[in-house]
Amino acid sequence: MSLERLPNYLGGRWISGTGTPTSLFDPVLGTALVQVDATGLDLKDGFRFAREQGGAALRALTYRQRAELLAAIAQLLQKHRDAYYEIALANSGTVKNDSAIDIDGAIYTVGTYAKLGASLPDAHFLREGEPASLAKDAAFQSLHVQTPVAGLALFINAFNFPSWGLWEKAAPALLSGVPVVVKPATATAWLTQRMVKDVVDAGILPAGALSVVCGSSAGLLDALEPFDVLSFTGSAETAATLRSHAAVTRLSVRTNIEADSINSALLMPDTRAGDATFDAFIKEVAREMTVKSGQKCTAIRRAFVPAALFDDVATALRERLAKVVVGNPRNETVRMGALVSRAQLSAVREGLSQLQRHTRTLLDGNAAPIVDADPKVACCLGPTLLGLDTPEAVEATAAVHDIEVFGPVAALLPYADLPRGLAQIRRGQGSLVASVYGADDAALARAALALAPGHGRVHVVTPQTAALHTGHGNVMPQSLHGGPGRAGGGEELGGLRALNFYHRRTAIQSGPSVLTQLQET
Ligand code: NAP
């Protein structure tokens, strides 16, 4: 039986590729599901349509009108939620709670931007502050305005968040008045394609406002023009290729990169084994290692603990992780599903064996039983905890600070004192998030500020917040996502800050009579 070939949506119409399609697989059962192919698409023409039709129609609306479109999209996605869960189960091999992070996380993010947009002026541009006087008596002034960029937003996304990865970018772009072309990672493109299809079929957005290209990325960057923006999420290696493309180097296409990150969690020195802080740390490290089988850019990869607590933490983590049932997410006892593909499983095994050359294995995920699935077929691996025994070993070892294993793998690392612990965190060379667990508010605040320059987000957990915090790895639309250095140097979300990327800031200089008219436009 031939598989359905998912059409692309570009230039305001559905088009199938004309080349050899690529199949998408169920990572638990190994069965082929659907196919994608972008061969033969006229990308330049499709991008022109998005800019000219989609962009113009979106910019003709005000922020509040576009916020209403987002509210309608959130409602529509909610209506089709069950179908998205089925696709996620089949194509990503995730348990329901993990699919929720991707699907419900996306709906929540779109809904949040709909609400934020309703608080914006009913206008077509944003003014920044008050005019600054450039001459005597304020007769000549400078007013900074932000107008939506005049091009399109191209999103090249990673495989691990086919739903949230689309909407955390598309919500602020569409609210800004910028048309979107999304190219999902091939392995999990189905869910992205289905969501775009539902929104297109519902006729919520103007023609050209939302397009999807599934399959090869060939030619996408060649079709970019100077006023477009590019947002990439994926590996540092691909990011480097994109950064060197002429669209970026010669046309100055504004680019946002979200890449690898060796995120950390740190248990403060005043913790005692078994106290509330200790328990919160154990719970969160175990959760971060296993949610989405560790395929989260924000997952904890390095867990720093006071040297005196190393054995207690190792024991508690081992006990907790050993209880995680791994296997077919269709079985209701299973808590952790599969990695996304055989290729990803091999990459994780390869990265793991590199790390194992430098560390001790405290819990071996290869030994975990795989429930209700054929281990030769299913892309499953149990949680794997590595460790180094002494602070000196942590300081002498580069691998744990350098190698991102994108799976259920973390390293437990002892530190001698807090300054040295914080210095080891900095060896990650810039991360998306660090979390700190303690009970001394002043010491926690100092640690948070010390970590801030190297991170996009610092997540501080105290006994008072242990039951209500949003999670080390959960990206909330109100908070900034992105990190410096190795994490890509990007910034996303953070409430209305996200709109900056999709706007051009301009200083308009004139007398007050003209500037007043601008405010009335
Ligand atoms: P990847 O291999 O770099 O792929 C990412 C995207 O880039 C995919 O859509 C891929 O398409 C596309 N691509 C590959 N080569 C390209 C090229 N030469 N030109 C243009 N596009 C190209 O990354 P991945 O394996 O999907 O994702 C895992 C990585 O993403 C991890 O390292 C993780 O840390 C990172 N990540 C970061 C964040 C964050 O927010 N910082 C979030 C999630 C993941 P194909 O799939 O068709 O190859």
Burial 98-129 (b: 16+ CB within 10 A, else e): bbbbbbbbbbbbbbbbbebbeebeeeebbbee
- Catalytic site includes residue 297: yes
Cα 406 to ligand 1 centre (Å): 12
* Any atom of ligand 1 within 6 Å of the Cβ of 263: no
Q: How far is the CA of 237 from the centre of ligand 1 (A)?
A: 9
- Which residue in 60, 81, 78 sits closest to 114, CA to CA? 78
Is 38 close to ligand 1, i.e. is its CB under 6 Å away? no
Instruction: Tell me, rounded to whole angstroms, the distance of Cα 53 from its chain centroid.
Output: 29
Joined tokens for residue 463? 């006994």
* pLDDT attached to residue 2: 85
Q: Do 5-259+493-520 and 263-477 show the same overall fold?
A: no
* pLDDT at residue number 319: 97
Q: What is the whole-number distance in angstroms between the Cα of residue 241 and the centre of ligand 1? A: 11
- Residue 521 pLDDT: 55
How remote is the CA of residue 185 from the centroid of ligand 1, in Å?
7
Determine if ligand 1 sits within 6 Å of the CB of residue 370.
Answer: no
**CATH 3.40.309.10 for domain 263-477:** yes
Angle between helices 96-118 and 81-92 (to 10 degrees): 130
Q: CA 29 to CA 12: how far, in whole Å? A: 36
Q: Which of 168, 284, 288, 297 is catalytic?
A: 297
Ligand 1 pocket residue status of 404, Cβ below 6 Å: yes
Q: Which atom of ligand 1 is nearest to the CA of 239?
A: 3
Q: Are 388 and 415 in contact (CB under 8 A)?
A: no
233 CB near ligand 1 (under 6 Å): yes
User: 327 CB less than 6 Å from ligand 1?
Assistant: no
**For residues 260 and 360, what is the distance between their CA atoms, to the nearest angstrom?**
23
| Cα 157 to ligand 1 centroid, rounded to whole Å | 6
Low-confidence ranges of the chain (pLDDT < 70): 1, 519-521
Residues 19 and 116: their CA atoms lie apart, in Å, by: 43
CATH superfamily of 5-259+493-520: Aldehyde Dehydrogenase; Chain A, domain 1 (3.40.605.10)
**pTM of the entire structure?**
0.96
User: What residues does 15 pair with on adjacent strands?
Assistant: 8
Residue 518 has a pLDDT of: 87
Question: How do 492-493 and 480-481 pair as beta strands?
Answer: antiparallel
Task: Look at residue 520 in the predicted model and tell me its pLDDT.
Answer: 52
154 near 220, Cβ under 8 Å? yes
Q: Domain ranges for the chain, please list them.
A: 5-259+493-520, 263-477
Handedness of CA 281, 385, 289, 182 (dihedral sign): positive
Question: Ligand 1 atom 46: the closest Cα is on which residue?
Answer: 185
- pLDDT of 1 reads 64
Pocket test of ligand 1: the residue of 192, 222, 235 to mutate, having most ligand atoms within 8 Å of its CB, is: 235
Whether ligand 1 lies within 6 angstroms of the CB of 26 is answered as: no
Q: What ligand 1 atom has the least distance to the C-alpha of 488?
A: 41
For residue 238 and ligand 1, the question of a CB distance below 6 A is answered with yes
| Cβ of 492 below 6 Å from ligand 1 | no
The vertex-27 CA angle with 292 and 234, nearest 5°, equals 55
Residue closest via CA to ligand 1's atom 30 equals: 234
* 237 is an active site residue: no
Annotated active-site residue in 168, 214, 258, 492 = 258
Index of the ligand 1 atom closest to the CA of residue 238: 3
Each residue's pLDDT tens digit, 62-99: 999 999 999 999 999 999 999 999 999 999 999 999 99
Which pair of tokens denotes residue 497?
């800050």
